[in-house]
Structure 1
Amino acid sequence: MTASTASADRGALTRSAAYASIAVAALLAVLKTWAVWKSDSTAMLGSLADTGLDLVASIATLIGVWIAAQPADRDHRFGHGKAEALAALFQVVLIALSAAGIAMRAVGALVGGERVASADEGIVVSVIAMVATLGLLAWQRHVIRRTGSLAIKTDNVHYQSDLLLNLAVIAALALDRFVGIAGADPAFGLAIAAWLGWGAWRASSEAVNHLMDKEWPDDKREAFVAALAGHPELRGVHDLRTRTSGMHDFVQFHAAVDPRMTIAQAHRVMDELEARIEAEFPGVEVLIHPDPDGLVDEEGAAAEELLPAEPQGDPQ
């Protein structure tokens, strides 16, 4: 499969997940609007607000994954992968706003001693919402396994919280209406708001890492160096820099070779290193700077030798 074909397949998968998310959010928004009207429940109102923001966030996700799937161009030579991180951050902002709004409504209901008017409609709608959400989560997990999309991951985190949110709504309605516990509905509304706020905090970290070009995890970097280490003509590796943008990985490093090599010989070694990298890390974009062995112009961490030292023989 060529890189362009793989990119097209990934784009189709991420768009399908975004379309599914939009469809589920639109359906649930209609049902929950009816349930809020019938029940006057704070918890259900919080669930409706969350679903409305789900719909907006899912549209943002669709735009983000569509832009991210576009090939590199003259103005964006590294591609458009960071559009997914921007879409994810947009979702985080919406989740945080939703949490704040629900918390304010819940506090007002607690102070005012409000009770729900009806529970049946809210419980039925919440059960339907859970079934629809489970189906959506299953498809999103499939797409994430195939693509690693950050925007879909963030959307998936949000919809996972929706399962607990809908359970909380059912519990709040049942306790308030059938058991007669005053304040149960707004109390659960506050718990939902806190859960959403925590989810927004967690979801923001990966998006920020992508935008800030955070280095690969240590185990991935070590596996990368190990893929290079077996080349017999490579004498050292330093100034390794890595980052991820959307589905694309980028890496650059200095490779030390015999200073007596011709340019053509050094170029051959670089080609062989790129082939090793492609075998272990398909699709990664690599920039290699060849250095004569022993020459290190960098300072600090960039000058650190990364290849494992060769074992020394027993002294004679």
Structure 2
Amino acid sequence: MMMSVKLEREPEPGASQAQTPDGDSARDPDGRLRRAATYASVTVAALLIAGKFGAYLSTNSVSILSSLIDSSVDALASVVTLISVARALKPPDFAFRFGHGKAEPLAALIQSAFIVGSALFLGYESLGRLFEPRPVGDISVGLWVMAVAIALTLVLVLFQRWVVRRTASLAIGADSLHYSGDMLLNAAVMVSLLLGHWTGQAFWDPLFGLGIAAFLVWGAVGISRTALDVLMDRELPDGERTRVVDLVNAHPASRGLHDLRTRSTGLGQHIEFHLELDSHLSLLEAHAITDEIESSVRAAFPNADVTIHQEPAGLDDERLDHRLRPRRG
């Protein structure tokens, strides 16, 4: 006896199925949080660009220019995030039956390209000013703008991190990483302005600009690696896979599992495995047991889609586990 059952996510108890104007289900509070985080990000980015542009005109500081460039890239990245989140939250359709969740890691990959481009430009400008130093003007405006920027960014990052904990959004997580870096960048700009003012040496400004450029590239590499892992269907961490195995084996009727495959969908996880059951069970009994196991897995992974293929225990057939290439090392 061999059966394959696709187990879909059920709506949360008491959740409404009314449709919102954009077509998303009103039962998804995570969607509202994702949108709120992206709107906040775009708003803060616009405010930072305006303030830093004025500060750059006042000081002619390459460090402030670096911060202005970074904020401009962040604004563009935030718009990309806004579009990608709206796309990712669309329900599955006939053309995309797995949904649109991977729009988020795709946006994160685009963001990393923006960051690298801005870092290269910043590095070029900083090297030029390192060999041909230019005096920095009145730093008071720059210091005030950087202080306000740090305060605004801190509030945004705290909100974004709270949203990421609730939704596990990769795109918002990448956006939050940008702005976390911005806080360090803004602090570095303040230090470079003060050092240049106290020592009278102009090299501090471009030197900090080079350091900030290197920091941006480092962050972009991390973002792109995470995004590529999701786009390439990398397995979930070993700890999460072990958790699935333990949950399945904890059911008294389970005789084991094999061919466990997991991946991130961008909005959640996809978990698929072959469940081994006693061969004498009826179809109805096997289905009931599968429902119970699926419920326990979904309780541990609330955003997961679970696919379970049922097999009689001891069946000798071709398995994915036997075809996998051994891990190196």
1:149 aligns with 2:165: no
Equivalent pair of 1:39/1:122 in contact (CA under 8 Å): yes
1:264 aligns with 2:264: no
| TM-score normalised per structure 2 | 0.88
**Shift in CA distance, 272/41, structure 1 to aligned 2, threshold 3 Å:** same
Counting only pairs closer than 5 Å after superposition, residues 158-177 of structure 1 correspond to structure 2 as 158-177=178-197
> How far apart are the structure 1 equivalents of 2:264 and 2:222?
19
Mean Cα deviation higher: 234-243 or 224-233: 224-233
2:291 is aligned with what amino acid? D
Give the match's secondary structure for 1:294.
coil
Mean Cα deviation higher: 111-120 or 128-137: 111-120
**Shift in CA distance, 7/158, structure 1 to aligned 2, threshold 3 Å:** farther
**Shift in CA distance, 284/6, structure 1 to aligned 2, threshold 3 Å:** farther
Structure 1 counterpart of 2:238: 218
- Structure 2 unaligned blocks of 5 or more: 1-11, 18-24, 325-329
Q: Deviations over 1:228-249 (max 9, x none)?
A: 1122222120000001112221
Corresponding residue to 2:149 among 123, 129, 132? 129
Give the match's secondary structure for 1:290.
strand
1:16 aligns with 2:33: no
Structure 1 counterpart of 2:85: 65
Equivalent pair of 2:105/2:231 in contact (CA under 8 Å): yes
1:112 aligns with 2:132: yes
Cα offset, 1:88, TM superposition: 0.8
**Shift in CA distance, 303/233, structure 1 to aligned 2, threshold 3 Å:** farther
2:255 is aligned with what amino acid? R
Q: Deviations over 1:91-138 (max 9, x none)?
A: 111111111110000000011122212212211111110011011111
Give the match's secondary structure for 1:37.
helix
1:33 aligns with 2:53: yes
Structure 1 counterpart of 2:307: 287
Give the match's secondary structure for 1:239.
strand
> How far apart are the structure 2 equivalents of 1:186 and 1:159?
21
Give the match's secondary structure for 1:131.
helix
1:146 is aligned with what amino acid? R
> How far apart are the structure 2 equivalents of 1:236 and 1:60?
44
**Shift in CA distance, 278/299, structure 1 to aligned 2, threshold 3 Å:** closer
Percent sequence identity over aligned pairs = 43
Q: Which has the higher helix share?
A: 1
Mean Cα deviation higher: 27-36 or 255-264: 255-264
Cα offset, 1:284, TM superposition: 1.9
Aligned residues: 304
Q: Deviations over 1:135-190 (max 9, x none)?
A: 11111111111111111100111101111111111111122233202311000100
Structure 2 counterpart of 1:179: 199
Mean Cα deviation higher: 37-46 or 277-286: 277-286
1:75 aligns with 2:123: no
Cα offset, 1:267, TM superposition: 2.4
Equivalent pair of 1:253/1:288 in contact (CA under 8 Å): yes
Structure 1 counterpart of 2:122: 102
> How far apart are the structure 2 equivalents of 1:249 and 1:179?
54
Give the match's secondary structure for 2:272.
strand
Mean Cα deviation higher: 170-179 or 121-130: 170-179
1:55 aligns with 2:93: no
Equivalent pair of 2:168/2:268 in contact (CA under 8 Å): no
1:187 is aligned with what amino acid? L
Structure 1 counterpart of 2:110: 90
**Shift in CA distance, 295/13, structure 1 to aligned 2, threshold 3 Å:** same
Give the match's secondary structure for 1:274.
helix
Mean Cα deviation higher: 110-119 or 154-163: 110-119
Indicate the structure whose relative CO is greater, using CA pairs within 8 Å and at least 6 residues apart: 2
Equivalent pair of 1:238/1:302 in contact (CA under 8 Å): no
Cα offset, 1:58, TM superposition: 0.5
> How far apart are the structure 2 equivalents of 1:6 and 1:285?
19
> How far apart are the structure 2 equivalents of 1:159 and 1:119?
23
Cα offset, 1:302, TM superposition: 4.8
Mean Cα deviation higher: 265-274 or 288-297: 265-274
Equivalent pair of 2:136/2:202 in contact (CA under 8 Å): no
Cα offset, 1:299, TM superposition: 4.6
Cα offset, 1:7, TM superposition: 5.8
| TM-score normalised per structure 1 | 0.91
Give the match's secondary structure for 1:252.
strand
2:57 is aligned with what amino acid? W
Equivalent pair of 1:107/1:190 in contact (CA under 8 Å): yes
